[in-house]
Structure 1
Amino acid sequence: METAIIILAAGNSSRMGRPKQLLQYKGQTFLEIAIQAAVQTSFSPIIVVLGAHAKKILHVHNHPTITFVINEDWEKGMSSSIATGMNVILKDFSDTENVIITVADQVHITSTILEDLYHTFKSENKNIVTSHYLQTTGTPALFNKKYFNNLLNLQGSGGAKNIIKQHVDDVSSIPFELGHIDIDTATDYHNLINHQ
């Protein structure tokens, strides 16, 4: 069963003041951490959606096995980036059965977490599997093809959360203890670096 991964890395990091995809943590850029977690799984294709700062980011990241796409409408928010990634999957990788959506600023992401989403999907027969942290659920999250049209037609900045809310009876989740640590501001980054 083909499972694709979409890494969302199109934002302009307005609260950070510089592209957070290129910030370093433990010797790797944030985006590289997400890419390595994806590459270490058995899943393919892996699609990275860029937007703001795309040239700068592409200059630093070159992976022959990864499809980089640019969301020209990145300013419309996360939903437009998900739709950009889904368009590539439906057009070029039409045998895809599931898609895992993940982001470039969860620095504690691992291949194990991505694999766990799939194993839970297989064992619990739920068509959406989310990550659970701090009383909430979010990315990375797996969606079966049953929801591909929903993902393709998302609007606004909320990403896929609305799909999850509308179909709670078809959702399972896995624990991702450090999933709440996403880096949005210079203070977040400072705290991260000082605690590594």
Structure 2
Amino acid sequence: MDKFPIGIIILAAGGSIRLGQPKQLLTYRGKTLLENAIDAGKQSKAMETVVVLGGNEAVIRRHVNFGQTLVISNPDWEKGMSVSLRLGLNFLISRRPLEGILLMLVDQPFVDAALLDKMMDNWVKNRKGIVACAYQNTLGVPTIFGKEYFPELLALSATEGAKKVIYSHPLDTLTVDFPLGSVDVDTQQDYENLLGSQ
């Protein structure tokens, strides 16, 4: 299988404050949410995947099978998601030249390799710098950013998210419809709703 020159960053450093337990370890379809995200990355045509951990890191490392997936730590995870993004991006581009990165969260259970490959196919064919998922009247992750946007991503302040970069470049953004992208797990009710939908 030919690989795309894209690295995946799975942002999994949050402390799951609203949930009251590490969302990374919630089980869905026989695996943890984090393992499902890792599987999507590994089974896709991306060149490499890195997981960024932070909150609850020790317990997550004990309970998750990372396989050969790269894992890095964000000691400043409480400062915001863009800190993890920056760490992951700097880590990937220090290892090899990449044409783009694909950002993923750990709490979107319906993201799979087929979606990621579809996004990468569209990124190559349409020559847009950004490929973002469209759901619930917004654009968001998973999102691909071409290397021309690496400086902007690295310059985000701690409280800013990658969405700022997406909305700053509407003419260079291709959207992929992903209605199930609106399903994420932030609260116990979200998780119960997810389990009830199986």
TM-score of the aligned structures, taking structure 2 as reference length: 0.95
Q: 1:162 and 1:77 mapped to 2: Cα distance?
A: 14
CA deviation vs aligned residue, 1:81-134 (integer Å, no higher than 9, x gap): 1001011012122x1111000000000011011111111111211100001111
- In the alignment, what sits opposite 1:3? 6
More moved, 5-14 vs 162-171: 162-171
- Structure 1 residue 21, shift from structure 2 partner: 0.3
Deviation at 1:146, TM superposition (A): 0.4
Instruction: Choose which of 98, 103, 109 in structure 1 pairs with 2:111.
Output: 109
Identity %: 39
Aligned equivalents of 1:63 and 1:9: distance in 2? 13
Unaligned runs of 5+ in 1: none
**1:172 is matched by which residue type in structure 2?**
L
Residue 67 of structure 1 aligns with which residue?
Answer: 70
SS of the residue corresponding to residue 11 of structure 2 reads strand
The 5 Å alignment of 1:84-163 reads: 84-93=87-96, 95-163=97-165
CA contact (8 A) 2:105 2:142 kept: yes
Q: CA deviation at 1:159?
A: 1.6
Do structure 1's residue 188 and structure 2's residue 184 form an aligned pair?
Answer: no
- What residue identity is the alignment partner of 1:33? N
What is aligned with 2:46?
43
Instruction: Give, in angstroms, the shift of residue 71 of structure 1.
Output: 0.8
What is the Cα deviation at residue 155 of structure 1? Answer: 1.4
Contact in 1 for aligned 2:6/2:47 (Cα 8 Å): yes
- Structure 1 segments, 4+ long, off by >4 Å, are none
- State the secondary structure of the residue aligned to 2:156: coil
CA distance, structure 1, for counterparts of residue 67 and residue 27 of structure 2:
22
Q: What is the distance in 1 between the residues matched to 2:162 and 2:189?
A: 27
Distance 1:9 1:157 in 2: 16
The alignment yields a C-alpha RMSD, in angstroms, of 1.1
- CA distance in 2 between partners of 1:58 and 1:44 (Å): 23
Q: For residue 6 of structure 2, give the secondary structure of its aligned residue in structure 1.
A: strand
The answer for unaligned runs of 5 or more in structure 2 is: none
TM-score by length of 1: 0.96
User: Residue 160 of structure 1: CA displacement?
Assistant: 0.2
The number of residues matched between the two structures is: 195
